[in-house]
């Protein structure tokens, strides 16, 4: 299950950033995950909770934004939702040549919300 290695990497990056910013903790982590990234959001949620144990990220909410896979046909300039399973044949000219994947492979931390400490408002870190 590669979701555990992804969750561990996210937690490590966010925990390190929280320590560098002297944040008391992390309230929320927002991820962008492409439809074709091969990540099961429910499995990632479960693994994230496990990976957070003992870190400044423990107790944080994981918000996952799934990005629809989209492609464009270079010869005829048509764009379409690739879908699952992926269909990379142009729905207009049926060409499979010159197809460009525009979105769907994303896997990135969009932002982190630090936990508010006593008398300190929560702040966004992009």
Q: Indicate whether 94 and 117 sit together in one domain.
A: no
Q: What is the pTM of this model?
A: 0.81
60 and 110 housed in the same domain: yes
pLDDT of 78 strictly over 70? yes
Same domain, 41 and 64: yes
User: In terms of Cα–Cα distance, which of 67, 65, 68, 69 is closest to 29?
Assistant: 65
- Asked whether residue 15 falls in the same domain as residue 47, the answer is yes
- Strands (E) across 19-76 are located at 26-34, 61-67, 70-73
Question: How many domains in the chain?
Answer: 2
Q: What is the mean pLDDT of residues 58-68?
A: 96
Do 56 and 74 reside in the same domain of the chain? no
- Could you give the CA distance from residue 83 to residue 104 in angstroms, rounded to a whole number? 10
The answer to whether residues 59 and 14 belong to one domain is yes
Q: Are residues 96 and 44 in the same domain?
A: no
| pLDDT-derived band at 89, boundaries 50, 70, 90 | confident
Q: Determine the Cα–Cα distance for residues 80 and 45; give it in Å rounded to an integer.
A: 29
Q: Which domain holds residue 94?
A: 69-103
> What is the pLDDT at residue 114?
96
């Amino acid at each position: 299950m590669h979701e555990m290695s992804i969750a561990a990497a996210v937690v490590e990056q966010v925990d390190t950033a929280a320590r560098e910013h002297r944040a008391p903790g992390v309230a929320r982590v927002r991820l962008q995950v492409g439809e074709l990234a091969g990540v099961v959001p429910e499995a990632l949620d479960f693994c994230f909770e496990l990976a957070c144990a003992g870190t400044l990220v423990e107790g944080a909410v994981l918000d996952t934004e799934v990005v629809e896979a989209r492609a464009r046909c270079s010869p005829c300039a048509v764009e379409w939702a690739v879908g699952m399973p992926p269909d990379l044949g142009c729905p207009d000219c049926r060409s499979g040549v010159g197809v460009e994947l525009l979105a769907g492979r994303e896997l990135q931390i969009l932002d982190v919300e630090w936990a508010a400490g006593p008398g300190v408002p929560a702040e966004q870190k992009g």
